[in-house]
Amino acid sequence: MVGTPINGRTRLSFGAVNGGHDLGPSSAPPSNAGSDYGIIEFTREDVEALLNEKAKRKDRFNYKERCENMMDYIKRLKVCIRWFQDLEISYSLEQEKLKSSLELAQQKCTEIELLLKIKEEELNSIIVEMRRNCTSLQEKLVKEESEKTAAAESHLKEREARLNFERSQSTLQEDLGRAQRELQSANQKISSLNDMYKRLQDYITSLQQYNGKLHSELSTVENELKRVEKEKATVLESLTMLKGQLTLSMASQEEATKQKDALASEVTSLRVELQHARDDRDHQLSQAQTLTSELEKSKDSTEKSCSELNKLTLRTNELEAKCALQDERIKVLQEQLTTAEEKLQVCDISASETRIEYEGQQKLVHELQRRLADAENKVIEGEKLRKELHNNILELKGNIRVFCRVRPLLPDEGSSTEGKIISYPTSMEASGRGIELTQNGQKHSFTYDKVFAPDASQEEVFIEISQLVQSALDGYKVCIFAYGQTGSGKTYTMMGRPGHPEEKGLIPRSLEQIFQTKQSQQPQGWKYEMQVSMLEIYNETIRDLLSTNKSSSEGTPTRVENGTPGKQYTIKHDANGNTHVSDLTVVDVQSVKEVAFLLNQAANSRSVGKTQMNEQSSRSHFVFTLRLYGVNEVWLFLL
């Protein structure tokens, strides 16, 4: 067996070599160390010390002591391996736990992330909604405020207009009052003028009466004059005497005329005055009429202004009501805004809490990942150590080990042993390792790494081999071959008895172990690729047993140069110590079934014939090669 690094190539070969020689004794010690050490803790230094421990050689030829030392060493190694296996189990348990807790945490984290995302989306939608509301509210507010300011401005304008109007109304009222007062004074004047007119008319009437009286007096005077003239005539005679009387009468007449003229002029002046008074009255009346019309106009305009004022007051009241409503609406909107902001704050708080929780979970996940990485590193280290220890044990057991298996007598052989007696030593030292053959009274003793008695089962033989299979999985090259004379049981040991699954041989059992390990190590990141090739060496010639160009006939031993006629197979060794047979058919395999099928195919292709010792003798050397390519992607990632 040759060691190779991890993740490299490894090869497990099984061979069956025909030959007629027995093997000599082996130098490897027995491997039956017990667990006398109980539970002991090892440190890396202890393990290294144990591995580097050199055998104390007081007496080089004291094999017993050396053997005891070796046994003790093996015991300690076994304890160490058991400790290591426990450690490995605990590591893998811890790894499983950590993985499950990591998965849980990751699930939780994902759930929290999802929740957070949903919440964030909800919050974002709420925030967007709120913001939209807020903007619409602010827009509304701005609009309302602008409307309010416009309303206030219009209100102010209306108030100013009202004030102006009130002012103009008061001036108009003042004017009206003044006009009314003037009208009153004009009325008073008119009434006084009327009184004066009446008085003047009375005066005129009295003057006319007086004039009439004067006229009547004048007529009486004239009548008197006539009577006087008659008297003149009568009194002509008494003219002289009456002349004085006449002059007097004339003077009184002149005086009366004068009086009449004065009265006439007075009447004229009175008439002029009356005319003036009439004109004045007309003027006053026209003034009063204009004032009345103005008053009516101003009354109309006052009414109009009053109605406008009423309208404006109504409008103002409406606007004030609207303003009050808008104020209330603004208050409600502000309250809504405050509650929305409070909600937003609560949402922010819950979002920050969730974020803190998420960060905590992430920290936990990181911590778990770190611990997992630590554990995985420990597992890698442990795995390396286990491989080292395993290899050490195998080295201690012997890199080359030879087992002896005695097959039972076959039914057709009866009890004939041709004078040979096989016995097994009973001494502790050689127990299970020694065999004694007595022939013709001569005793021959042989020692092997292990001797399997005829009743040893295939399972028992495989237990010894399984450690080598593990080595192949660990990356070491392993070769197992059966050697013995014809009919000694090589094919039986390697392949088993066809149709008897409980008697299956080392090859199918090894393959089962390999595929089981492949399966069990898959969760730890191990990936194995397997390739199978099978050849037969018959009369120093190689035959490819998996070649599809088969030219050998089954059941008869034939001398065929190789699988394909004319094809020459050559054995090559590369720099890495790998051995290849050129042009050999190599088949990728995924399962035991596939290998079983190929084995069956190979078995049918083999050269088989009858020998004296074996009805179904193989007549050739059969080499089954399994190439394992193991890669741990997790380790590659970690390393």
Concatenate the DSSP letters of all residues of 259-312 into one string: HHHHHHHHHHHHHHHHHHHHHHHHHHHHHHHHHHHHHHHHHHHHHHHHHHHHHH
205 Cβ contact partners less than 8 Å away, ≥ 6 residues apart: none
Q: Which stretch binds ligand ATP (CB under 6 A): 35-43, 250-258, 334-342, 402-410?
A: 402-410
In terms of CB distance, is 93 or 463 closer to ligand ATP? 463
Which of 29, 382, 489, 508 binds ligand ATP (CB under 6 A)? It is 489
Min. distance of Cβ 20 from ligand ATP in angstroms? 10
Interface region with ligand ATP, contact rule CB under 6 A, candidates 108-116, 293-301, 325-333, 611-619: 611-619
Nearest to 425 by CA among 440, 409, 404: 404
Q: 477, 490, 543, 621: which one contacts ligand ATP (CB under 6 A)?
A: 490
Selected binder of ligand ATP within 18, 305, 471, 547 (CB under 6 A): 18
**Binding residues for ligand ATP, total number by CB under 6 A:** 18
State the minimum distance, in angstroms, from the CB of residue 626 to ligand ATP: 20
Least gap, CB of 462 to ligand ATP (angstroms): 13
Min CB(417)–ligand ATP separation in Å: 15
For residue 505, state whether it binds ligand ATP (rule: CB under 6 A).
Answer: no
408 binds ligand ATP (CB under 6 A): yes
Choose one: 94-102, 222-230, 484-492, 547-555; the region binding ligand ATP (CB under 6 A). 484-492
CB 505, min distance to ligand ATP, A: 9
485 annotated to bind ligand: yes
Q: Does 486 bind ligand ATP (CB under 6 A)?
A: yes
423 is in an annotated binding site: no
607 binds ligand ATP (CB under 6 A): no
Binding mask 440-479 for ligand ATP (x = CB under 6 A): ----------------------------------------
Please report how close the Cβ of residue 509 comes to ligand ATP at its closest, in angstroms. 14
Rounded to 5, what percent of the chain is helix, strand, coil? 65, 15, 25
214-222, 234-242, 347-355, 485-493 -> range binding ligand ATP (CB under 6 A) = 485-493
Burial 341-355 (b: 16+ CB within 10 A, else e): eeebeebeeebeebe
Give bridge partners of residue 403 from the DSSP assignment: 450
Residue 471: which of 523, 509, 527, 510 has the closest Cα?
A: 510
CB 592 within 8 A of CB 519: no
Interface with ligand ATP in residues 507-546 (CB under 6 A): none
577 annotated as belonging to a binding site for a ligand? no
Distance CA 622, CA 429 (A): 35
| Kind and range of the H or E run holding 31 | none
- Minimum CB distance to ligand ATP smaller for 433 or for 490: 490
Minimal distance, residue 616 CB to ligand ATP, in Å: 6
- Shortest separation between residue 15's beta carbon and ligand ATP, angstroms: 12
- Report the residue number, 510 or 632, with the smaller CB distance to ligand ATP: 510
Residue numbers 22-41 binding ligand ATP by CB under 6 A:
none
CA distance 470 to 482: 19
Residue 512's SS3 state is helix
Number of Cβ within 10 Å of residue 517's Cβ equals 18
Report residue 119 CA to chain centroid gap.
10
CA-to-CA distance for 166 and 174, rounded, in angstroms?
12
| Burial class, 619, CB count within 10 angstroms (exposed 0-12 / middle 13-18 / buried 19+) | buried
Query: Residue for token digits 């009052």?
Result: 177
Is 484 annotated to bind ligand? yes
The structure tokens listed for 326 are 């808008």
User: Residue 534 in contact with residue 545, Cβ under 8 Å?
Assistant: yes
To the question of whether residue 496 is assigned a binding role by annotation, the answer is no
Beta carbon nearer to ligand ATP, 324 or 410? 410
- Does 563 appear as a known binding residue? no
CA atoms within 13 A on the CB side of 134: 13
**In sequence order, what are the beta bridge partners of 627?**
11, 531
Contact window for ligand ATP (CB under 6 A) among 178-186, 292-300, 326-334, 480-488 = 480-488
H-assigned helices in 398-505: 458-474, 490-495
45 to 104, contacts with ligand ATP by CB under 6 A?
A: none
Pick 284 or 617: Cβ nearer ligand ATP:
617
Using the minimum distance from each CB to ligand ATP, give the nearer residue, 4 or 485: 485
Interaction of residue 618 with ligand ATP, rule CB under 6 A: yes
Residue 444 DSSP one-character state = E
Q: Name which position in 108, 432, 611, 631 contacts ligand ATP (CB under 6 A).
A: 611
Residue 539 in tokens:
């009369």
Q: What residue type is assigned to position 192 of the chain? A: S
Q: Which of 258, 311, 355, 497 binds ligand ATP (CB under 6 A)?
A: 497
> Is the Cβ of residue 489 or residue 508 nearer to ligand ATP in the bound state?
489
Pair of tokens at residue 64: 């017993």
User: Considering the rule CB under 6 A, would residue 557 count as an interface residue with ligand ATP?
Assistant: no
Query: H helices within 420-575, ranges in order?
Result: 458-474, 490-495, 506-521
> Which residue, 475 or 484, has its beta carbon nearer to ligand ATP?
484
Tell me which of 29, 382, 434, 487 binds ligand ATP, using CB under 6 A: 487
**Smallest separation (angstroms) from ligand ATP to the CB of 477:** 25
Taking CB atoms, the residue at the shortest distance from ligand ATP is 489
Tell me if 313 is assigned to a ligand binding site: no
Q: Is 474 exposed, middle or buried (0-12, 13-18, 19+ CB in 10 A)?
A: buried
Note whether 617 binds ligand ATP by CB under 6 A.
yes
Q: Half-sphere exposure (CA, 13 Å, Cβ side) for 464?
A: 24
Measured between alpha carbons, how far is 456 from 508 in angstroms, rounded to an integer?
18
Q: Does 492 help bind ligand ATP (rule: CB under 6 A)?
A: yes
Output phi, psi for 107, to 5 deg: -60, -50
Considering only 353-361, 371-379, 405-413, 631-639, which stretch makes contact with ligand ATP by CB under 6 A?
A: 405-413
390: buried, middle or exposed (CB in 10 Å: 19+, 13-18, 0-12)? middle
358 binds ligand ATP per the rule CB under 6 A: no
Q: Annotation-wise, does 488 bind a ligand?
A: yes
C-alpha span between 474 and 3 (Å, rounded): 9
Within 8 A by CB and 6+ apart from 299, the residues are: 176
Q: CB-wise, 533 or 618, nearer to ligand ATP?
A: 618
Burial grade of 15 (CB within 10 A; 0-12, 13-18, 19 or more): middle
Residues that constitute the known binding site for ATP: 484-491
Residues that constitute the known binding site: 484-491
Q: What is the binding site for ligand ATP (CB under 6 A)?
A: 18, 407-408, 410, 484, 486-492, 497, 611, 614, 616-618
